[in-house]
């Protein structure tokens, strides 16, 4: 038979969330009467709000008419790209610097094709799994080191209580692809303007490129915190940004996102990253659903933006309830104020063990920090993406347990 891709052989068996789902199924099978509540996966639960939903419905209706029909639109609808530039970047990007996609995760996976197997990669540790797993799949990283320090070939930048969840940038190698997520999944920390200034300065000094993941930018309520890397001077020369309608408009199942690749961005050889990205998108991706894009256009007008603000405020309300309970229990935690995740510290504990203990005592599913990287050991992530009743019930149950 045909040989297996060795890069896939390098990846650790079991993606984090399927593993949690498996443990949930096992627990349910052993306790058939248990009413399990999930504060685990970052999957949205609230219905899409009426104005944005009407945009989706209208997009579907138009496809059934001669005048309204549209087919392939590789880089996305011009109207949507111009709206994204106006709403998120004060019109500073041209339409050909914005690429519409089927989501930020898919873009992060495809972006790796621009750099290939030989690339040095640095990630915040802990981090959203696709940065590391995608690097392993493309061969930029090797197998798991036997000492548990992570994958060979990845530079882990620990984000801990001690450094206030912002890494030591001096550890970034030169000519490196640096993944940076703010507001962060899983820690919930949001980088300040000064911190992002330092990140951009380091990337420029080290001829490195930042992939900035802003998927949770609409959760930022503190106006002093940057929502985009492009609020930072010099970022056009060293960064691309990915973002998504998933967590702001509830499009996790609809699938719509975008990437911004500035025309100024160049490889070491002087060639344009934007031109290559356009080529990759046209070659292995045929554009986002036209229905999803109609929903995205509705989401970005004034009525849609009010709905985005109301949906994100709702989940932030959940986050506050969860954080308040944890703090009452004396558990140290961060996040949940400008992000939908709360990162709770259980010093010296194995996070899978804490996960099982919380499940046993309260039938609440969480996410063990160790699943996000070596520095996640001793932490648990709580997600605020639940229905209000379920979150309140989970909070009541958590109140009664001491882990």
Contacts with ligand PLP, residue ranges (CB under 6 A): 42, 103-106, 128, 181, 185, 213, 215, 244, 246, 252, 257
- Angle 246-252-257 (CA atoms, 0-180°, nearest 5)? 45
State how far Cα 300 lies from the chain centre: 20
Nearer to ligand PLP, 127 or 362 (CB): 127
CB of residue 130 vs ligand PLP: minimum separation in angstroms? 7
CB of residue 388 vs ligand PLP: minimum separation in angstroms? 21
CB of residue 284 vs ligand PLP: minimum separation in angstroms? 16
- What are the angstrom distances between the C-alpha of 113 and each of 101, 134, 229? 15, 10, 22
CB of residue 128 vs ligand PLP: minimum separation in angstroms? 4
Nearer to ligand PLP, 135 or 244 (CB): 244
CB of residue 379 vs ligand PLP: minimum separation in angstroms? 16
Comparing every residue's Cβ against ligand PLP, the nearest one is 103
Asked if residue 186 has a cis previous peptide bond (ω within 30° of 0), the answer is: yes
CB of residue 40 vs ligand PLP: minimum separation in angstroms? 12
Task: Tell me the three-class secondary structure of 199-247, residue by residue.
Answer: HHHHHHHCCCEEEEECCCHHHCCCCCCCCCHHHCCCHHHCEEEEEECHH
Report the C-alpha gap between 199 and 193 in whole angstroms: 10
Report the C-alpha gap between 92 and 77 in whole angstroms: 18
User: Quick one: DSSP state of residue 136?
Assistant: H
Nearer to ligand PLP, 208 or 383 (CB): 383
Nearer to ligand PLP, 41 or 263 (CB): 41
Nearer to ligand PLP, 212 or 355 (CB): 212
Nearer to ligand PLP, 42 or 371 (CB): 42
Phi, psi torsion values for 276, nearest 5 degrees: -70, -40
The alpha-carbon radius of gyration of the chain (Å, integer) is 21
């Amino acid at each position: 038979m045909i040989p297996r891709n060795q890069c896939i052989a390098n990846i650790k068996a079991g993606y984090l969330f399927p593993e949690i789902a498996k443990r949930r199924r096992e627990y349910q099978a052993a306790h058939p009467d248990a009413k399990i509540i999930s504060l685990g996966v970052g999957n949205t639960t609230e219905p899409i709000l009426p104005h944005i939903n009407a945009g989706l419905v209208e997009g579907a209706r138009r496809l059934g008419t001669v005048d309204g029909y549209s087919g392939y639109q590789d880089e996305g609808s011009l109207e949507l790209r111009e709206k994204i530039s106006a709403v998120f970047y004060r019109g500073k990007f041209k339409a050909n610097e914005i690429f519409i996609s089927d989501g930020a995760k898919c873009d992060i996976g495809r972006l790796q094709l621009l750099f290939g197997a030989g690339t040095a990669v640095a990630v915040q540790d802990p981090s959203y799994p696709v940065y590391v797993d995608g690097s392993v799949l493309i061969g930029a990283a090797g197998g798991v080191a036997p000492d548990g320090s992570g994958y060979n070939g990845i530079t882990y930048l620990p984000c801990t209580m001690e450094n206030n969840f912002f890494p030591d940038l001096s550890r970034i190698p030169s000519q490196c692809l640096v993944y940076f997520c703010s507001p962060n999944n899983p820690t919930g920390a949001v980088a300040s303007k000064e911190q992002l200034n330092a990140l951009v300065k380091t990337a420029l000094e080290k001829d490195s490129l930042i992939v900035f993941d802003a998927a949770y930018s609409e959760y930022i309520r503190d106006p002093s915190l940057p929502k985009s890397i492009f609020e930072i001077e010099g970022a056009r020369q060293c960064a691309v940004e990915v973002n998504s309608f998933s967590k702001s408009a509830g499009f996790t199942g609809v699938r719509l996102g975008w990437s911004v690749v500035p025309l100024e961005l160049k490889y070491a050889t002087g060639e344009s990253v934007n031109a290559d990205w356009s080529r990759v998108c046209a070659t292995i991706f045929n554009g986002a659903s036209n229905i999803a894009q109609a929903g995205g256009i509705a989401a970005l007008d004034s009525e849609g933006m009010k709905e985005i603000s109301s949906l994100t405020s709702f989940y932030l309300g959940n986050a506050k309830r969860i954080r308040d309970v944890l703090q009452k229990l004396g558990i140290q935690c961060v996040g949940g104020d400008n992000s939908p995740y709360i990162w709770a510290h259980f010093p010296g504990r194995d996070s899978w063990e804490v996960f099982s203990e919380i499940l046993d005592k309260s039938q609440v599913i969480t996410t063990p920090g160790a699943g996000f990287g070596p520095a996640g050991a001793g932490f648990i992530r709580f997600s605020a993406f639940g229905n209000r009743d379920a979150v309140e019930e989970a909070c009541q149950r958590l109140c009664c347990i001491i882990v």
